[in-house]
Amino acid sequence: MVEHDTLARTVTKAGMILLENGAETNRVEDTMQRLCKAYGATIVDTYATPTLLIVSFTLNGQLVHNIKRIHIQSTNLARIDAVNSLSRQACAGLLSCQQLDEKLDEVKAYRPYSIPARILGASVCTFGFALFFHGTLPDAICSFVIGAVVQAFMIMLNRYHISAVFRNILGGALLSGLSVTASRFIPVTGSTVSISVLMLLVPGLAITNAIRDSVNGDLVAGLARGLESILTAISIAVGSGFILLLLGGGL
Protein backbone atom coordinates (compact mmCIF):
# COMPACT_ATOMS: atom_id res chain seq x y z
CA MET A 1 0.00 0.00 0.00
CA VAL A 2 1.25 3.47 -0.89
CA GLU A 3 2.16 5.69 2.05
CA HIS A 4 0.71 9.19 2.12
CA ASP A 5 4.10 10.87 2.57
CA THR A 6 5.72 8.82 -0.18
CA LEU A 7 3.03 9.67 -2.71
CA ALA A 8 3.04 13.37 -1.81
CA ARG A 9 6.83 13.54 -2.04
CA THR A 10 7.00 11.62 -5.33
CA VAL A 11 4.24 13.57 -7.06
CA THR A 12 5.71 16.88 -5.95
CA LYS A 13 9.15 15.80 -7.15
CA ALA A 14 7.74 15.02 -10.60
CA GLY A 15 6.06 18.43 -10.78
CA MET A 16 9.20 20.16 -9.53
CA ILE A 17 11.37 18.59 -12.25
CA LEU A 18 8.89 19.62 -14.93
CA LEU A 19 8.53 23.19 -13.68
CA GLU A 20 12.24 23.74 -13.12
CA ASN A 21 13.06 22.65 -16.66
CA GLY A 22 10.63 24.79 -18.63
CA ALA A 23 7.32 22.88 -18.75
CA GLU A 24 4.10 24.87 -18.95
CA THR A 25 1.99 24.93 -15.78
CA ASN A 26 -0.92 23.07 -17.36
CA ARG A 27 1.36 20.10 -18.08
CA VAL A 28 2.70 20.19 -14.52
CA GLU A 29 -0.73 20.21 -12.91
CA ASP A 30 -2.09 17.51 -15.22
CA THR A 31 0.89 15.20 -14.62
CA MET A 32 0.68 15.56 -10.84
CA GLN A 33 -3.07 14.89 -10.90
CA ARG A 34 -2.71 11.79 -13.06
CA LEU A 35 0.02 10.37 -10.84
CA CYS A 36 -2.05 10.88 -7.69
CA LYS A 37 -5.04 9.08 -9.22
CA ALA A 38 -2.82 6.30 -10.60
CA TYR A 39 -1.84 5.36 -7.04
CA GLY A 40 -5.34 5.43 -5.61
CA ALA A 41 -5.75 9.01 -4.43
CA THR A 42 -9.10 10.73 -4.71
CA ILE A 43 -10.33 14.35 -4.58
CA VAL A 44 -7.08 15.54 -6.14
CA ASP A 45 -6.28 19.23 -6.54
CA THR A 46 -3.04 20.57 -7.97
CA TYR A 47 -1.85 24.13 -8.46
CA ALA A 48 1.33 25.39 -10.09
CA THR A 49 2.90 28.77 -10.77
CA PRO A 50 6.46 29.34 -12.02
CA THR A 51 7.64 29.55 -8.40
CA LEU A 52 5.22 27.39 -6.41
CA LEU A 53 3.72 23.89 -6.39
CA ILE A 54 0.73 22.77 -4.30
CA VAL A 55 -0.87 19.33 -4.29
CA SER A 56 -3.77 18.11 -2.19
CA PHE A 57 -5.39 14.66 -2.25
CA THR A 58 -7.26 12.14 -0.16
CA LEU A 59 -5.75 8.68 0.29
CA ASN A 60 -7.31 5.97 2.46
CA GLY A 61 -9.61 8.54 4.05
CA GLN A 62 -6.77 10.89 5.01
CA LEU A 63 -6.38 14.37 3.54
CA VAL A 64 -2.80 15.19 2.51
CA HIS A 65 -1.29 18.52 1.42
CA ASN A 66 2.18 19.37 0.17
CA ILE A 67 3.74 22.68 -0.90
CA LYS A 68 7.06 23.17 -2.69
CA ARG A 69 8.86 26.44 -3.43
CA ILE A 70 10.59 26.50 -6.81
CA HIS A 71 13.88 28.39 -7.07
CA ILE A 72 15.55 27.03 -10.20
CA GLN A 73 14.41 28.04 -13.69
CA SER A 74 16.13 26.51 -16.69
CA THR A 75 15.35 24.69 -19.93
CA ASN A 76 15.95 20.96 -20.33
CA LEU A 77 13.47 19.26 -22.63
CA ALA A 78 15.13 15.87 -22.10
CA ARG A 79 14.10 15.90 -18.44
CA ILE A 80 10.55 16.95 -19.33
CA ASP A 81 10.30 14.09 -21.82
CA ALA A 82 11.69 11.63 -19.27
CA VAL A 83 9.11 12.63 -16.63
CA ASN A 84 6.31 12.39 -19.20
CA SER A 85 7.43 8.85 -20.10
CA LEU A 86 7.59 7.83 -16.44
CA SER A 87 4.14 9.31 -15.86
CA ARG A 88 2.67 7.23 -18.67
CA GLN A 89 4.32 4.08 -17.29
CA ALA A 90 2.99 4.82 -13.79
CA CYS A 91 -0.55 5.41 -15.08
CA ALA A 92 -0.33 2.09 -16.95
CA GLY A 93 0.53 0.30 -13.69
CA LEU A 94 4.09 -0.54 -14.74
CA LEU A 95 5.82 1.29 -11.87
CA SER A 96 5.28 1.26 -8.14
CA CYS A 97 5.39 4.56 -6.30
CA GLN A 98 8.80 3.67 -4.85
CA GLN A 99 10.16 2.76 -8.29
CA LEU A 100 8.85 6.00 -9.72
CA ASP A 101 10.52 7.98 -6.94
CA GLU A 102 13.86 6.28 -7.64
CA LYS A 103 13.60 6.90 -11.38
CA LEU A 104 12.74 10.56 -10.78
CA ASP A 105 15.96 10.84 -8.79
CA GLU A 106 17.79 9.47 -11.82
CA VAL A 107 16.12 12.07 -14.03
CA LYS A 108 17.18 14.84 -11.64
CA ALA A 109 20.73 13.55 -11.88
CA TYR A 110 20.78 13.82 -15.68
CA ARG A 111 23.82 15.86 -16.59
CA PRO A 112 23.27 18.62 -19.13
CA TYR A 113 25.33 18.79 -22.27
CA SER A 114 29.02 19.44 -21.69
CA ILE A 115 30.24 23.02 -21.78
CA PRO A 116 32.09 22.58 -25.12
CA ALA A 117 28.93 21.10 -26.67
CA ARG A 118 26.81 24.01 -25.42
CA ILE A 119 29.28 26.57 -26.72
CA LEU A 120 29.46 24.82 -30.10
CA GLY A 121 25.66 24.64 -30.27
CA ALA A 122 25.37 28.35 -29.55
CA SER A 123 27.96 29.12 -32.23
CA VAL A 124 26.15 27.05 -34.84
CA CYS A 125 22.86 28.78 -33.97
CA THR A 126 24.33 32.26 -34.36
CA PHE A 127 25.97 31.22 -37.64
CA GLY A 128 22.60 30.09 -38.95
CA PHE A 129 20.79 33.21 -37.71
CA ALA A 130 23.31 35.44 -39.50
CA LEU A 131 22.53 33.73 -42.80
CA PHE A 132 18.80 33.80 -42.00
CA PHE A 133 19.00 37.58 -41.55
CA HIS A 134 20.56 37.86 -45.04
CA GLY A 135 24.07 38.32 -43.73
CA THR A 136 27.20 37.48 -45.69
CA LEU A 137 29.52 34.57 -44.99
CA PRO A 138 31.94 36.87 -43.08
CA ASP A 139 28.97 38.04 -40.98
CA ALA A 140 28.09 34.41 -40.20
CA ILE A 141 31.68 33.50 -39.30
CA CYS A 142 31.97 36.56 -37.04
CA SER A 143 28.66 35.66 -35.40
CA PHE A 144 29.94 32.11 -34.89
CA VAL A 145 32.98 33.38 -32.96
CA ILE A 146 31.17 36.04 -30.93
CA GLY A 147 28.37 33.58 -30.15
CA ALA A 148 30.93 31.19 -28.65
CA VAL A 149 32.40 33.97 -26.50
CA VAL A 150 29.02 35.18 -25.27
CA GLN A 151 27.80 31.66 -24.47
CA ALA A 152 30.99 30.88 -22.53
CA PHE A 153 30.57 34.17 -20.64
CA MET A 154 26.95 33.40 -19.74
CA ILE A 155 27.89 29.91 -18.53
CA MET A 156 30.57 31.45 -16.31
CA LEU A 157 28.11 33.97 -14.85
CA ASN A 158 25.58 31.21 -14.19
CA ARG A 159 28.16 29.32 -12.13
CA TYR A 160 28.36 32.27 -9.74
CA HIS A 161 24.55 32.32 -9.37
CA ILE A 162 24.28 35.89 -10.59
CA SER A 163 20.74 37.20 -11.04
CA ALA A 164 19.24 36.57 -14.49
CA VAL A 165 18.62 40.30 -14.94
CA PHE A 166 22.27 41.19 -14.41
CA ARG A 167 23.40 38.23 -16.53
CA ASN A 168 21.36 39.53 -19.45
CA ILE A 169 22.59 43.11 -18.96
CA LEU A 170 26.20 41.91 -19.04
CA GLY A 171 25.52 39.53 -21.91
CA GLY A 172 23.86 42.27 -23.97
CA ALA A 173 26.76 44.62 -23.24
CA LEU A 174 29.35 42.03 -24.26
CA LEU A 175 27.71 41.07 -27.55
CA SER A 176 27.21 44.71 -28.55
CA GLY A 177 30.76 45.62 -27.65
CA LEU A 178 32.22 42.73 -29.63
CA SER A 179 29.93 43.39 -32.60
CA VAL A 180 30.83 47.09 -32.77
CA THR A 181 34.53 46.35 -32.40
CA ALA A 182 34.43 43.67 -35.08
CA SER A 183 32.59 45.93 -37.54
CA ARG A 184 35.30 48.58 -37.18
CA PHE A 185 38.21 46.29 -37.95
CA ILE A 186 36.86 43.69 -40.37
CA PRO A 187 34.33 43.93 -43.24
CA VAL A 188 31.19 42.71 -41.46
CA THR A 189 27.78 44.26 -40.83
CA GLY A 190 27.68 44.99 -37.13
CA SER A 191 23.88 45.08 -36.89
CA THR A 192 23.52 41.63 -38.47
CA VAL A 193 26.17 40.15 -36.20
CA SER A 194 24.64 41.77 -33.11
CA ILE A 195 21.09 40.60 -33.86
CA SER A 196 22.27 37.08 -34.66
CA VAL A 197 24.13 36.72 -31.36
CA LEU A 198 21.33 38.44 -29.45
CA MET A 199 19.04 35.53 -30.34
CA LEU A 200 20.97 33.45 -27.78
CA LEU A 201 19.53 35.62 -25.00
CA VAL A 202 15.95 35.95 -26.24
CA PRO A 203 13.59 34.09 -23.83
CA GLY A 204 11.68 32.20 -26.51
CA LEU A 205 10.39 29.39 -24.28
CA ALA A 206 9.25 31.82 -21.58
CA ILE A 207 7.30 33.87 -24.13
CA THR A 208 5.71 30.74 -25.60
CA ASN A 209 4.74 29.40 -22.17
CA ALA A 210 3.37 32.80 -21.12
CA ILE A 211 1.01 32.82 -24.10
CA ARG A 212 0.07 29.17 -23.64
CA ASP A 213 -0.60 29.54 -19.90
CA SER A 214 -2.75 32.62 -20.52
CA VAL A 215 -4.76 30.86 -23.23
CA ASN A 216 -5.28 27.90 -20.89
CA GLY A 217 -6.68 30.23 -18.23
CA ASP A 218 -3.61 30.08 -15.93
CA LEU A 219 -3.44 33.85 -15.69
CA VAL A 220 -1.09 34.03 -12.69
CA ALA A 221 1.49 31.82 -14.39
CA GLY A 222 0.97 33.59 -17.72
CA LEU A 223 1.51 37.03 -16.19
CA ALA A 224 4.57 35.82 -14.25
CA ARG A 225 6.22 34.34 -17.34
CA GLY A 226 5.23 37.37 -19.41
CA LEU A 227 6.83 39.71 -16.88
CA GLU A 228 9.93 37.51 -16.88
CA SER A 229 10.16 37.86 -20.66
CA ILE A 230 9.71 41.64 -20.50
CA LEU A 231 12.42 42.00 -17.83
CA THR A 232 14.77 39.87 -19.93
CA ALA A 233 14.17 42.02 -23.00
CA ILE A 234 14.70 45.23 -20.99
CA SER A 235 17.89 43.83 -19.48
CA ILE A 236 19.33 42.99 -22.88
CA ALA A 237 18.36 46.42 -24.22
CA VAL A 238 19.95 48.21 -21.25
CA GLY A 239 23.24 46.36 -21.65
CA SER A 240 23.39 46.78 -25.42
CA GLY A 241 22.24 50.40 -25.36
CA PHE A 242 24.80 51.39 -22.75
CA ILE A 243 27.67 50.00 -24.82
CA LEU A 244 26.40 51.61 -28.02
CA LEU A 245 26.24 54.99 -26.27
CA LEU A 246 29.66 54.43 -24.72
CA LEU A 247 31.25 53.60 -28.06
CA GLY A 248 29.60 56.56 -29.70
CA GLY A 249 27.07 55.37 -32.23
CA GLY A 250 25.15 52.61 -33.87
CA LEU A 251 26.26 49.43 -35.54
Neighbours of 55 (CB within 10 A): 26
Q: How far apart are the C-alpha atoms of 138 and 144, rounded to whole Å?
A: 10
Is a pLDDT exceeding 90 seen at residue 137? yes
Q: What would the 3-class secondary structure string for 153-187 be?
A: HHHHHHHCCCCHHHHHHHHHHHHHHHHHHHHHHCC
Is a pLDDT exceeding 70 seen at residue 9? yes
Q: How far apart are the C-alpha atoms of 185 and 132, rounded to whole Å?
A: 23
Once rounded to an integer, what is the mean pLDDT over residues 198-225?
A: 85
DSSP state for residue 45 in the 8-state scheme: E
Mean pLDDT of the chain, nearest integer: 90
Q: How far apart are the C-alpha atoms of 39 and 7, rounded to whole Å?
A: 8
Is a pLDDT exceeding 80 seen at residue 201? yes
**Own/partner pairs for 28-36, CB < 8 Å, 24+ apart?**
28/53, 31/83, 31/84, 31/87, 34/87, 34/91, 35/10, 35/11, 35/87, 35/90, 35/91, 35/100, 36/7, 36/11
Is a pLDDT exceeding 70 seen at residue 251? no
pLDDT (0 to 100) of residue 11? 94
Residues 144-177: pLDDT tens digits? Answer: 999 999 999 999 998 887 888 899 999 999 999 9
pLDDT (0 to 100) of residue 1? 62
Q: How far apart are the C-alpha atoms of 29 and 27, rounded to whole Å?
A: 6
Residue ranges per structural domain of the chain = 4-108, 115-246
pLDDT band, very low/low/confident/very high, at 89 (cuts 50, 70, 90): very high
pLDDT (0 to 100) of residue 250? 56
pLDDT (0 to 100) of residue 132? 94
Is a pLDDT exceeding 70 seen at residue 249? no
Is a pLDDT exceeding 90 seen at residue 225? no
Q: pTM for the full model?
A: 0.81
Residues 101-135: pLDDT tens digits? Answer: 999 999 988 877 889 999 999 999 999 999 999 99
Residues 78-88: pLDDT tens digits? Answer: 899 999 999 99
Once rounded to an integer, what is the mean pLDDT over residues 190-216?
A: 87
